[in-house]
Amino acid sequence: MLDETRKDFTLQARRKGGGTAPMTHWQLPNETAPLSDVLLGSPAYLQHLATSSLSRKHLRENPCNIQLAQSQHAEMVAAYESFGVKVHMLAPEPELPMQVYARDSSVMTPYGAIITAMAQWWRRGENYAAIRQYEALGIPIYDMVTAGTFEGGDFNVIEEGCVLIGCGGARTNEAGARQVAGWFEDEGWEVKLAFIDEYYVHIDLMVVPIAEKLTAVCRDCTAPWIVEWLEGKGHEIIDVPFRDTMNLGCNVMSLGKDRVIAPERSRSLIDALRARGFEVTAVDTAEISKTGGGIHCMAQSLRRG
């Protein structure tokens, strides 16, 4: 017999045309409410691959020391735990060298998890691993992307019922982006599509929610309409320098209640947050980030609020 927590699992909770009921045992109203459960990926089988301009440059010049990256990951896990966040770890699989980036293979929403469609063949198995993980946790699958490619770093919940979807072509393509956009428009959300250059990989490199009406943005590489749109909603913008952004310095994780986990090297953002009274735990993730992602890319919020 299925235990209480697993009985909510289903492979397609989405109601066609909208009106899907939000989850009952889990909740995720937005990306800035207090975080109590997070999904992370193990770096046990991490490899440094040429996945993007970013990771290729480091591979050429100064490849990732995997052991050091693993110890940095352990420190990041400890940071979540020190804030009382329960860490759920994807079961590591030797066939999945990028599984540490738990943000991308699925996307948690108020209705359950979207199973994405990874663009690069060496990441596709992560989608199946994510399904198994949600089954084990009793989290319903909202739906699975079938029309094109879609990666979780491109689903950026700005506030409750409002999402910015990144579309760089090489990762999330237009067909995938429009399919997901349509689902959330049907649910009554405000949805904006941001076409970005594939150099930036995902939209969460340059736009990341920090707190209610407070967003970190790299103005130098974010389309001005996005900044104006956020400001129009009353968001204060913390500008993150371009160089820091390309080192994943904007890619931080909000824990809610004015607490943030940020990469140690992102001095400008850390100082700006501390000046506003935020509690910032700075973790050195520079070695992991040579493989192309940061703290936000490595985390999938499972429960907030």
Ligand X SMILES: NC(=O)NCCC[C@H](N)C(=O)O
CB of 86 to ligand X, least distance (A): 22
CB of 207 to ligand X, least distance (A): 12
CA 89 to chain CA centroid, Å, is: 15
Task: Let me know: does 42 contact 90? Beta carbons within 8 Å.
Answer: yes
What CA–CA distance (Å, rounded) separates 153 from 89?
Answer: 18
Q: Which SS3 state, helix, strand or coil, does residue 110 take?
A: coil
Listed in sequence order, the DSSP H helices in 40-188 are: 53-61, 66-82, 125-137, 174-186
Find the binder of ligand X among 292, 299, 301, 302 (CB under 6 A): 292
Helix (H) or strand (E) holding 273: helix 267-275
Judged by CB under 6 A, the stretch of 33-41, 174-182, 220-228, 292-300 that binds ligand X is 292-300
Check residue 31 for interaction with ligand X (CB under 6 A): no
| Furthest C-alpha separation in the chain | 55
Nearer to ligand X, 120 or 179 (CB): 120
Check residue 200 for interaction with ligand X (CB under 6 A): no
CB of 298 to ligand X, least distance (A): 8
Check residue 299 for interaction with ligand X (CB under 6 A): no
Segment 34 to 53, residues that bind ligand X, using CB under 6 A = 51-52
What CA–CA distance (Å, rounded) separates 52 from 61?
Answer: 14
What CA–CA distance (Å, rounded) separates 298 from 237?
Answer: 23
Nearer to ligand X, 11 or 68 (CB): 68
Say which DSSP state 139 is in. Answer: P
Find the binder of ligand X among 126, 204, 244, 287 (CB under 6 A): 204
Check residue 256 for interaction with ligand X (CB under 6 A): no
Which residue, judged by CB position, is nearest to ligand X in the bound state? 153
Segment 95 to 124, residues that bind ligand X, using CB under 6 A = 98, 101, 103-104, 123
Segment 152 to 171, residues that bind ligand X, using CB under 6 A = 153
Nearer to ligand X, 14 or 103 (CB): 103
Find the binder of ligand X among 28, 207, 250, 297 (CB under 6 A): 297
Find the binder of ligand X among 35, 293, 295, 301 (CB under 6 A): 293
CA 141 to chain CA centroid, Å, is: 17
Helix (H) or strand (E) holding 227: helix 224-232
What CA–CA distance (Å, rounded) separates 108 from 111?
Answer: 8
Residue 162 token pair: 């409002």
The torsion angles phi and psi of 289, rounded to 5 degrees, stand at -65, -15
Straight-line distance from the first to the last Cα atom of the chain, in angstroms, rounded to the nearest whole number = 30
Find the binder of ligand X among 33, 64, 102, 201 (CB under 6 A): 201
Taking 3-state DSSP, the helix, strand and coil percentages for the chain, each rounded to the nearest 5, stand at: 30, 25, 45
Could you tell me whether strands 279-283 and 259-263 are parallel, antiparallel, or unpaired per DSSP bridges? parallel
Check residue 281 for interaction with ligand X (CB under 6 A): no
Find the binder of ligand X among 14, 202, 259, 304 (CB under 6 A): 202
Residue 101 token pair: 């980036």
Site string for ligand X, 124-153 (x = CB under 6 A): -----------------------------x
Q: By the criterion CB under 6 A, which residues form the site for ligand X?
A: 51-52, 55, 98, 101, 103-104, 123, 153, 201-202, 204-205, 291-293, 297
